[in-house]
Each structure stands twice: as structure tokens, then as C-alpha cells.
């Protein structure tokens, strides 16, 4: 069901130095290269590893402002058409339906506070959305991480 210590060490190693290959991993972990390959294959097919795509930093692209916006949805509209509307806005990085009276929480980025206003205007410019409440992120105290969780799952 879950993962073991070798899986966790393998993932930590790849997170640390993503460009090293399977052979190099086997040397660092003192196991056969076939073992590393088998572990990686299993982790991938089980969905633990989604992929090795490039991680983009929105701030480096000029989108230095992050905000969390809670949307109140009109009951007459479902979530899906609203989600479809949000999906068309590039600055909406993710969106979740949350507990409460038909609400959505989404993460939005913008080039500046003024630009954030433009993005929010575009978000709420849809009749299914009744109200939006915006929370601006001032500082990133803990950047997105999963490694501690991997270690936790292995123990």
C-alpha cells in the first residue's frame, strides 16, 4: 500500500539532484541498478510520482503577487461552469471546491497589486459568481514541499 525507506531515500535523492540517472542513484543508494529502475517504475504506475516535469516559478515570470480568493457561487449555477470559466484565466493556478455554502477557493497570481485587480475583475465577471473575498499572500513561510510527507509515509 505505502512506500518503504528505500523509496523515500530514492525520492529524496531525485528531489535533491534531479538530473542524475538511474545508475548514479543505484551507486548512491548502494543497491543494484535494476532495483532502482523497478522502484521508480512501481512508484510511477502507482501514481506516487506524477512525473518529472519542470517546476515553474511564477514570480520569476513576473507574477510576484499571490492571492487566495474565495468565491461564493450562485446555487442556480453548478460548480462546473464556474470552474470552466476559471480554467480560461491563466492567472488562476488552482481551484478547489470547499466546505461551506457552495464555495470555491482558488489561488491566483498577478504582476502587481494593480494587476491583481484586473485579474479579480475578470474572475468575478461571470454571472455565476456572487461574491469574491481576496486574501493576499505577503510572504512564503513554507514553500510547497512534499519530502517531509514522503519520509512520514515511509516510516
Question: Which chain residues interact with DNA by CB under 7 A?
Answer: 6, 19-24, 31-35, 37-39, 42
Asked if 32 interacts with a second copy (CB under 8 A), we say no
* Among candidate residues 61, 68, 82, 63, the one with its CA nearest the CA of residue 127: 82
* Of residues 11 and 109, the one with the C-beta less far from DNA: 11
Q: Which is nearer to a second copy, 76 or 94 (CB)?
A: 94
Is residue 149 at the binding interface for a second copy, with CB under 8 A as the rule? Answer: yes
Question: Could you tell me which of 94, 112, 95, 105 has the C-alpha nearest to residue 69?
Answer: 105
**Which residues sit opposite 103 in a β-bridge?**
72, 98
The end-to-end CA distance of the chain, in Å, is 13
Nearer to a second copy, 100 or 125 (CB): 100
Q: Which residue has the cell 457561487?
A: 73
Q: Does 47 bind a second copy (CB under 8 A)?
A: yes
Per the CB < 8 A criterion, the answer to whether 71 and 123 are in contact is yes
Q: Which parts of this chain interact with a second copy (CB under 8 A)?
A: 1-3, 11, 14-15, 18-19, 46-63, 66, 68, 79, 83, 86-87, 89-100, 104-107, 109, 135-146, 148-153
Amino acid at each position: 500500500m505505502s512506500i518503504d525507506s528505500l523509496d523515500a531515500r530514492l525520492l529524496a535523492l531525485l528531489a535533491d539532484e534531479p538530473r542524475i540517472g538511474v545508475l548514479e542513484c543505484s551507486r548512491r543508494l548502494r543497491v543494484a541498478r535494476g532495483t532502482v529502475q523497478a522502484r521508480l517504475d512501481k512508484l510511477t504506475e502507482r501514481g506516487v510520482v506524477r512525473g518529472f516535469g519542470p517546476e515553474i516559478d511564477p514570480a520569476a515570470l513576473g507574477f510576484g503577487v499571490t492571492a487566495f480568493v474565495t468565491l461564493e457561487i450562485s446555487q442556480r449555477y453548478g460548480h462546473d461552469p464556474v470552474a470552466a470559466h476559471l480554467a480560461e484565466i491563466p492567472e488562476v493556478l488552482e481551484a478547489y471546491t470547499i466546505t461551506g455554502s457552495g464555495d470555491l477557493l482558488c489561488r491566483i497570481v498577478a504582476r502587481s497589486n494593480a494587476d491583481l485587480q484586473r485579474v479579480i475583475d475578470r474572475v468575478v465577471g461571470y454571472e455565476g459568481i456572487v461574491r469574491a473575498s481576496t486574501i493576499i499572500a505577503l510572504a512564503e513561510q513554507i514553500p510547497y514541499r512534499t519530502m517531509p510527507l514522503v519520509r512520514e509515509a515511509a516510516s
